Structure 1
Amino acid sequence: MKEKLLCPSMMCADYGALKDDVIALDKAGVDIFHCDVMDGTFVPNMTMGIMDIKTIRKYTDKLVDVHLMIENPSTKIDLFIDAGVDLIYIHPEAERYVVKTLAYIKSKGKLAGIAVNPDTSIETIHEMLNLVDYVMVMSVNPGFAGQQFIDFTKDKIKKLVAMKETYDFKLVIDGAMSPEKIKEMNELGADGYILGTSALFGKEETYQQLIKELREL
């Protein structure tokens, strides 16, 4: 059974009880707390602010990542570093000098990640793989929860699996990650999964039960 990185998408959490959700997820054994930040420009939605991320950071020692769905992320990187995140994902379409921004993230002692939209080709990001610690494939269009898995993204996932050892990155999948899809992606060779409403949030079972079940897939 291949080990999985299980990463709850905190935009789906209960913001009336964020502290309690973080503590419960931490105790359930999640690996990375995933924070989506949207500016209403790069994607047509707005979510999660610095104070939300600081709250998450305060109540866990696990890795905290931030997925920046914003224009010109280089101008905001230090805000998130100061908030205590460990891993920063950026979109190549949103940044003029992507390699420079990835190098800056790493120079600050943080993990650098690239997020790959369904309509972004592997060829577009190939050179960037020299600098990244994580690649996150979007299997839905970025910006909203509750979408259907886009089937042709599996071809991209397969290509990236074949490149992991050469470039030494972890491959994470974000979007419509139901238990069935997690099992399928795990068999393809992916490393981690962003958990939203398809597998974790809004269920009758406890986080502890759900995470245990996902581990055993």
Structure 2
Amino acid sequence: MVKIAPSILASDFANFGAEIEAVEAQGADWIHVDVMDGHFVPNITFGPETCAAIRPHVKTLMDVHLMIAPVDPYIEAFAKAGADIITAHVEAGPHIHRTLQAIRAAGCRAGVALNPGTPAEAVRPVLDLVDLVCVMTVNPGFGGQSFIESCLPKISQLREWGGPGLHIEIDGGVGPKTAKPCVDAGADVLVAGSAVFKGGSVSNPSPYGENIRAIRTAIDTLAA
């Protein structure tokens, strides 16, 4: 089954714990945490302390996406904070193989991310080390951007190389209109921020469920 991974970047920052519990109760499969450093990407978001604080509220899976450079000095801190998956960008340093080894050594599942301008071939040599490839379908740094359709062939290529055991995650501009072509191309994890959290709140979480079901309905039409 395709996993829906709401990004807390689009949630109420003053109520992370309650937001996570609410969106999980409404059908989220994973919780996606976008970590940005203001250097590798033009925004600053969360650090290991935030991950540690929200960990007790996450009952599904904490999917930590590190949009930072350098990566290696912070892997242990995010692992200790409770990350289940740690994803690093292939563009963030010269030694992605070493980075992925370090993530695994820290006890986490390893992910590698690709920016829109980076070809799938950049991660082919390390696919044996990864559990997940995150295909960025927007330029990283901000939520609410439009989906870049030219990234779709990259998904198909990665699925061909990685086989059925590899998670292919799509991050950026995912919603009911874009979910179907992503899954059709081979994706099985969809990160959605504003598309999930729009219209709802901790006190009124039902729109979260409606938004998640709208994405699932769009996916289900694939087999119809």
Quickly name the TM-score band, shorter chain normalised: over 0.9
Question: What 5-or-longer segments of structure 1 have no aligned partner?
Answer: none
Provide the residue aligned with 2:7 in structure 1.
Answer: 9
Partner amino acid, structure 2, of 1:216: T
The equivalent residue for 1:117 is: 115
Aligned-partner Cα distance in 2 for 1:155–1:183:
14
Q: What residue number does 2:190 align with?
A: 193
1:70 alignment counterpart = 68
Contact 1:11 1:48 in 2 (8 A): no
Question: How far does residue 51 in structure 1 lie from its aligned partner after superposition?
Answer: 2.8
Equivalent position of 2:177 in the other structure: 180
Q: Matched residues in 1 for 2:153 and 2:181: separation?
A: 13
**How far did 1:52 drift?**
2.2
**Structure 1 partner of 2:55:** 57
Give the conservation status (yes or no) of the 8 Å contact 2:5–2:30.
yes
Does residue 202 of the first structure (1) align with residue 198 of the second (2)? yes
CA RMSD of aligned residues (A): 1.5
- Aligned-pair CA distance for 1:53: 1.4
State the identity as a percent. Answer: 38
SS in 2 for 1:46: coil
Gaps in structure 2 of 5+ consecutive residues: 201-205, 219-224
TM-score, L = length of structure 1: 0.92
Displacement of 1:148 in angstroms is 1.3
**1:86, 1:156 → 2: CA distance?**
25
1:136 offset after TM fit, Å?
0.5
Structure 1 partner of 2:203: none
State the match for 1:213 in structure 2: 214
Cα deviations by residue, 1:40-84 (Å, 9 ceiling, x for unpaired): 111111112223212321112211011111111001001101100
Structure 1 distance, partners of 2:19, 2:169, is 22
Structure 2 Cα separation of the partners of residues 185 and 123 of structure 1: 19
* Secondary structure of residue in 1 paired with 2:86: strand
Matches of 2:105 and 2:16, distance apart in 1: 31
Residues paired across the two proteins, number: 213
**Paired residue secondary structure (1:200):** helix
Match of 2:96? 98
Shift of 1:216: 3.0
Query: How far apart are residue 139 of structure 1 and its match?
Result: 0.5
